[in-house]
Structures are given as structure tokens and as C-alpha cells.
Amino acid sequence: MTLKKKPKAVIVGGSIAGVSCAHALILAGWDVVVLEKSYQAPTGSPTGAGLGLDPLSLRLIQSWIKDPELLNKATLPLTIDQNDAVDGEKKVRWTLTRDESFNCRAAHWADLHALLYHALPPTLFLWGHHFQSFSISSDKRSVEVKALAHQINEIIEIVGDLLVAADGCLSNIRRSFVPHHKLRYSGYCAWRGVLDFSGNENSETIMGIQKAYPELGKCLYFSLGSGTHTVLYELLNNRLNWLWYVHQPEPDLKGNSMTTKVSSDMIQAMHKEAENMWLPEFVSVIKETSHPFINAIYDSEPLEQIYWDNVVLIGDAAHPTTPHALGSTNMSVLDAAVLGQCLKKWGAENLQSALEEYQSIRLPVVSKQVLHARKMGRIKQGLVLPDRQPFDPKTANPEDCQELQQKLMPFFSDVPSILV
């Protein structure tokens, strides 16, 4: 008897969407290779910031790694979702809405990536390989991918049965199918940073922020001011993750990055403005954070399809989204899991049926989630919406405040039947 050859998937992009997809496809019986333009795994680096994982993502990730308890050890609970109002002039804060059954966990991007990456054979990854192009065979049965191997400065070719685009919100692969599909700038950016207070646990800043925000370590804090809002929560190993959303013209982005370089003058101006807007305890955290950066906030109108022949989109390539509902990472993890189960169910010989089912399950969900996250951002930033007046935290009624809760995200607690 001859052994049946495993089908092969080429995954472009080695971020969390890509490594999640590698796990899911291996479990589905596929060989995978991951192309990533970065020269090495970002394991242990300060790359990225904090993120929240919902219960379904936690369960899926635990099923992919050898020791499920490692995920709990690498994260902190986020059992409370709280939205506060802040009067910067009077330096007072009060609660608008509070959900004590949030049931998520907080992770640092690099910690989660390391956990997923180390649970995979390192030979799957081709680091320092920059995707160039792809072509689909005339019979639609294979796809050839070309990538520039930086170390040898040569173009290599890889043939697979499936191309998975996990190459982010500026996806070059998506652009080849929908060249006129554009990202939509939200009208605001986020100053963000992670304060590592290891060794400074008893400093005035840390003692002050813990007194002002007593449930750090289990609470996701949103603070709403006039036309702006912040996010604050604790990460493992004595780190505080913060974001501050500010209105500004669309920045001039360079390359494929959604972040912009900041000067010391920009940071000083931001510090001064923070003093006018926020409580002094939060301002102290901002001032003590090394290397804060600006993240431009984009999303896009939902796509009409997320696969073509034997090419499929996952993660931010499939649904660029604003971060206001903890969506991006959780959507990516679920994309990967559903794609894996669809491929396992239908087999490589029925690839089109598998991709059609993946699209039918995920596209309606992510389309609504993208639009909901957009709405959440506009509410919290005090921007105009078609069906309502701008949200004012000083005058909002209890019904309006309920709209701020994360659990109102469409399909927030749904589990696709294919994963049950």
C-alpha cells in the first residue's frame, strides 16, 4: 500500500493569525510552511502590546499547545469590564457601567506569540522570506508562491495546494483580488505603551495607580473624557498596558506599518495634554513609560468574499478592524480554528467545499463584528453616528451607558457548530 501524500498549505505571515493557522491545519492533517519577512521569531521581544483573549480563544489555544496550563501562567484574568467617565478639569472619575462576568484574560502580544510558536516545529517557518507573488495553476489544483529569501538574496518558489493569506490589514494577497478595496481611517490614532514596573512595585506611581484603579490585575478599565478615551489593564510580570485615543488627521504611514515614529517633542506635547485630560495617577504611568508609540486606527468595509479558488484570507487580511471590542486577535484565532475544521471535514480533494463552508461560517460574523467595533469606537470617542447624538459621558443615561459593554459584540459568546 502507498501512503497518501499530505496536502500542503503555504501560510504568508507569521504573526498570531499565521501561527494559529499553522496549528489548526496541522491538526487537520496538512503539511504547512510559514513565510515571514521578519528575520527571526519575536520571542521574548517587547514587540506589540497587550491584548484580550475571550473564553473561546482561550479554549482553542489550550487545545493547540502541549501544556494547556501554560496559557493561564502567561496571562492574567480580565473578569471585569468597566467604563468610567473622567472630568479632567475637576480631576474626578465615576463609573458608567460595569460587567463583573467578563471572563477573559489579558496577554502580552509577544508572550502569546511565543507560546504558540514554541508549540510548533521550528522547521515550519521560513524567517526572512518576503512574499513576492503567487500564481494559481490552470486546473486550480495548486498554487505557486514566490518569496525573496533575504539571507541569500534569491527568489524561491514553493508549490502548495492552498495559499493562506495571514499577511495583515495591508494584505498584498487581498489586494490582488480586490485592488480597489481600501482601508478606512477612523479619524483618530492611539498613543500606546507598556510600563514595566518590575523592581518598582512600591514606587509612588505604582502605589498611586493601584489606589486609583484598585482592581488592576482583573479589570479592563475604559475611561471616557470629552471626545476621547483611554484603556488600562495589567499584564503578567508587572506590566501595565495603556492606550489613549486622540483625534488627528490621517498620518503619513511608511511601508506596511500601522505605527508612526514619534519624536521627543511629540511625547512631551502628549504628556502636557494628558495633564489636562486625565487623573494624575494615569498621567504618571504615561510619563514613566519608555518608548510610547502612535498606532493609526483603521478598518475597512466588510469584504464580499474571503476566498478565491485555492487562496483564502484569515485574520486582519480578511477583516481589518478597530480594536474597541478586543476583536482582532480573537477573530484571527477563530478564523484559524474554523478553517482547520472545514479542511478536516471535507478533505483536500474537496477544497472548494471546505473554503466555501469556511466563508459561509466566518464572513457574516466578522462583517458584523467589524461594524460593531467601529460603532463602539465612535461612541467612546464622542463622534457622530447616523442614528444618535454623540455620546457625552457627563450626561449619558444608564441605557446609553450599557452600550459600552464589550459583551454586546455580535456573536460574542457563540461557538460555531463545526467546533462543537
How many Cβ atoms sit within 10 Å of the Cβ of residue 169? 19
Find the range with the poorest average confidence among 156-160, 186-190, 326-330, 343-347. Answer: 326-330
Helix pair angle (204-212, 280-288), 10° resolution: 140
Q: Are 207 and 281 in contact (CB under 8 A)?
A: no
Judge if 171 and 25 occupy the same domain. Answer: yes
For the four alpha carbons of 169, 170, 175 and 181, in that order, the dihedral sign comes to: positive
Close Cβ partners of 306 (under 8 Å, ≥ 6 residues apart): 312, 313, 314, 318, 319, 358, 359, 362, 363
How far the first Cα of the chain sits from its last, in Å, is: 34
SS3 287: helix
* Helix H or strand E segment including 69: helix 69-73
Calpha distance 286→109 (Å, rounded):
19
Answer yes or no: is 311 within a domain.
yes
Mean pLDDT of the chain: 94
Mean pLDDT is lowest, of 7-11, 41-45, 171-175, 220-224, for 41-45
Q: Distance between CA atoms of 257 and 264, rounded to whole angstroms?
A: 20
Type and span of the H or E element at 229: strand 228-235
| DSSP designation for 15 | S
In a domain, 399, yes or no: no
Q: How many domains does one find in the chain?
A: 2
Over residues 55-72, the mean pLDDT reads 95
Residues 116 and 193 placed together within one structural domain of the fold: no
Which pTM does this prediction carry?
A: 0.95
Q: SS3 for 210? A: helix
For the chain, percent of residues with pLDDT exceeding 90: 90
| Residue pLDDT, tens place only, 303-333 | 999 999 999 999 999 999 999 988 899 999 9
- The residues near 241 (Cβ < 8 Å, ≥ 6 apart) are 49, 50, 106, 108, 192, 193, 194, 231, 232, 233, 234, 235
Both 39 and 23 in one domain: the answer is: yes
pLDDT for 81: 97
- Judged on CB neighbours under 10 Å (0-12, 13-18, 19+), 59 is middle
Domain of 30, CATH number, reads: 3.50.50.60
Give the Cα separation of 193 and 35 in Å (integer): 28
193 pairs with which residues across the strands?
A: 242
- Are residues 255 and 294 both part of a single domain? yes
Asked if 145 and 163 count as a contact pair (C-beta separation under 8 A), the reply is yes
Q: Do 84 and 116 belong together in one domain? A: no
Pick 341 or 257 by higher pLDDT.
Answer: 341
Does residue 241 form part of some domain? yes
Same domain? 193 vs 234 = yes
pLDDT at 43 over 60: no
Residue 180 has pLDDT above 90, yes or no: yes
Q: Is residue 420 part of a domain?
A: no
Is residue 418 one of the residues assigned to a domain? no
Both 276 and 216 in one domain: the answer is: yes
Residue 279, domain CATH: 3.30.9.60
Residue numbers of the domain that contains 99: 71-108+186-298
Residues 234 and 283 in one domain: yes
Residue 78 included in any domain: yes
* Predicted confidence (pLDDT) at residue 257 exceeds the cutoff of 90: no
192 and 93 within one domain: yes
Sign of the four-CA dihedral 221, 222, 226, 227: positive
The pLDDT score that the predictor gives to residue 326 is 81
Residue 396 lies in a domain: no
Residue 248 and residue 359 in one domain: no
pLDDT tens digits for range 261-292:
899 999 999 999 999 999 999 999 999 999 99
C-alpha cell at 162: 492552498
126 and 16 in a common domain: yes
**Chain segment 187-221, per-residue pLDDT in tens:** 999 999 999 999 999 999 999 999 999 999 999 99
Do 225 and 191 fall into the same domain?
Answer: yes
pLDDT band with cut points at 50, 70 and 90 for residue 168: very high
Q: Is residue 84 part of a domain?
A: yes
400 burial via Cβ count (<10 Å: 0-12, 13-18, 19+) = middle
pLDDT confidence band for 46 (50 / 70 / 90): low
Domain boundary among 243, 267, 298: 298
In angstroms and rounded to an integer, the radius of gyration of the C-alpha atoms of the chain is 22
| Mean pLDDT computed over 342-362 | 97
pLDDT of residue 1: 44
